[in-house]
Amino acid sequence: MKQFFKTVFASAFGVLIAAGVIILVGVFMIIGLVSSSSESAYKPKDDTIMKIDLKGSFPDQSASNSFSELLGLAEGNSLSLNQMTQAIRRAKRNDKIKGIYIEANGISSGVANLQALRKELADFKESGKFIYAYGDSYSQGDYYVCSIADSVFLNPLGSVALVGLASQGMFFVELSEKIGVKMEIFKVGTYKSAVEPFIEKKFSEANREQINSYMGSIWGSITSAIEESREIQADSLNSYLNNGLAMGEATNAIAYKLADQLCYRFEVENKLKALLGQEAESKLKTASPAKVASIEVKEKEHKDKVALLYAEGTIKEKGSSTIPGMPSDETVINEELAVQIRKLQFDESVKAVVLRVNSPGGSAYISEQIWKAVVDLKAVKPIVISMGNLAASGGYYISCGASKIFAEPTTLTGSIGVYGMFPNFSGILGKIGVTTDIVKTNTYSDLGDDLRPMREDEKALIQKSVESTYALFLKRCAEGRGKTVEEINVIGQGRVWSGEQGVELGLVDELGGIREALKSAAELAELTDYSVMLADAPKDFFTKMMEKKLDEVKLSVIKSVMGEEYTLFRTINRMKNETGILARIPHEMELN
């Protein structure tokens, strides 16, 4: 008992200390927000270069970090597609910004967002301004983006780590047996592979087939772009890849025309200074994308609007989390998206909507609610989908009813299929000598009880429900795409496709990004003069930081109380949470 009170007191004391820290940080944050809001827009000096630091993740949106900006710890922004797009376009139009300098530092992102960034850089080059790229070493994601540059420089001890794509799966059958958890699996779709980790010990042949197919399409899009930009032959690039030359001397990259020159970072900066007529000992004038994006651009505000709305994350019910009552860093799409879409439906100034979807799917129920909001909106004004890194399964469900669908060639889409997973934890109870009993009024009063094996009649009911959901999914896609249910079923079955393949199959209308989607939405609404309105600005850094710190405190207390048992508790709850009838893709293709 004494130890118990010591633990409780320590936990409570920790909470008080953490609360004090949060309040103190909050005060500084408010000062930072006031300070940053009072500053005028950035005004570049003559011969400025926009410097892009390729590192970290690359989401569609990110929050500004006014606190870091106040303390001078960072430029105040993490890299995001919407910010980079705005910055590159303003750099292109501003006469004082002469070019772009990219430093490769290990970006990790879905391929479609990198493809969108690369397209923006290609458009920037049409202005006649230069792009230089430097890397101590280039990851595959780094190099895919940087290969568009006029000149690619590599450290003499560096490498261009082009090795190709690979997809690795983890399978938990033996782990489930050891801890006493059995997953009851229900699915429709030959290629619906999200359940495979719980019933297989390796990829099924159908899953292996689809991975090879879409991965080949995506890698082909990447290598074709590199070959075109660097003016090298496919055979030459394949020779570099298949002979493992990325692991050799840096001179290999020069020999195969992947890099132009071996240089140290300071030598590249001196080249930039010379290009701008600056002395080598002077400081290179650079501006971050955050600063360039803030350059004031006087644009006429039009009465008619095209709204841009983001849908990014797993589709889940509001308030759900991986572990109930515990923090999660997972981005979630919930019923609020349907509410936002309905607001736009009744906003008379909004004449069309672009919905940017970046989701692996999730809850079939929530997907249906969002689908309904999309088709209701389409009945009164155009809604165009812009697919990001992935818009598959539930992500495709919420997209299929739109007026038009755009995707990048490397987007992962399709995965029209449904599955259900229900755990049986009776094995764990048996290991620790616990039994259960139940009293009920009707046959199925205890349906879904995860502390006992599932009966055959219960399995039949759930399978019927999964098949019914799949039939509805097929119907929604058929209605939205102007096809028969049979035609959708042939290309459905849970199979994942690339955006490029999606166009060929009729799942996607055109290849393109947000720019093309906005233009199409305006055309469908017959608009000539319009403004783009961001319908859901991301949370500011202060709000996000406070939420995160409170979550960290909660997590710290729980870990302190549970000790070594926390890891097992977390694993079991994650398995338990991934239950019900879902439309979700298990795949994600990242370049890093």
- Which burial class, exposed, middle or buried, applies to 387 when counting CB atoms under 10 A from its CB (0-12, 13-18, 19+)? buried
Of the CA atoms within 13 Å of residue 530, those in its CB half-sphere come to: 23
Token pair, residue 222, equals 């990447």
Q: Which of 187, 192, 273, 285 is flagged as catalytic?
A: 192
Largest separation between any pair of C-alpha atoms in the chain: 87
Q: Which of 66, 229, 386, 393 is catalytic?
A: 393
CA distance 486 to 505: 13
- 127 catalytic per annotation: no
Q: What are phi and psi of 490, to 5 degrees?
A: -65, -40
Please tell me the distance from the alpha carbon of residue 216 to that of residue 222, in angstroms, as a whole number: 10
Rounded Cα distance, 507 and 492, in Å: 10
Looking at residue 467, the DSSP 8-state letter turns out to be: H
Region at 482 (left for phi over 0; alpha for psi -120 to 50; beta for the rest): left
- Looking at the DSSP bridge assignments, the partners of residue 103 are 53, 134
User: Rounded to a whole number, what is the distance in angstroms from the first to the last CA of the chain?
Assistant: 51
Structure tokens at 82: 């919407």
Q: How many CA atoms lie within 13 A of 349 on its CB side?
A: 10
- Could you confirm whether 192 is annotated as catalytic? yes
Residue 138, φ and ψ in degrees, nearest 5: -110, 125
Q: How far apart, in whole angstroms, are the C-alpha atoms of residue 410 and residue 500?
A: 7
Give the C-alpha separation, 125 to 99, whole Å.
9
Angle, helices 205-230 vs 111-125, to 10°: value is 20
Torsion-angle region of 506 (φ positive above 0: left; ψ -120 to 50: alpha; else: beta): left
One-letter amino acid identity for 494?
G
CA 378 to the chain's CA centroid:
26
Query: Rounded CA gap, 474 and 485, in Å?
Result: 6
Report how far residue 479's alpha carbon sits from residue 471's, in angstroms, rounded to the nearest whole number.
12
Q: Are strands 97-110 and 48-57 parallel, antiparallel or unpaired?
A: parallel
- Report whether 125 contacts 131 (CB < 8 A): yes
What ranges make up the beta strands (E) of 280-382? 286-287, 305-312, 314-315, 332-333, 350-359, 361-363
CA–CA distance from 310 to each of 67, 143, 218, 237, 275 (Å)?
25, 28, 24, 37, 40
For residue 586, the surrounding DSSP H or E stretch is none
Catalytic residue positions, numbered: 192, 393
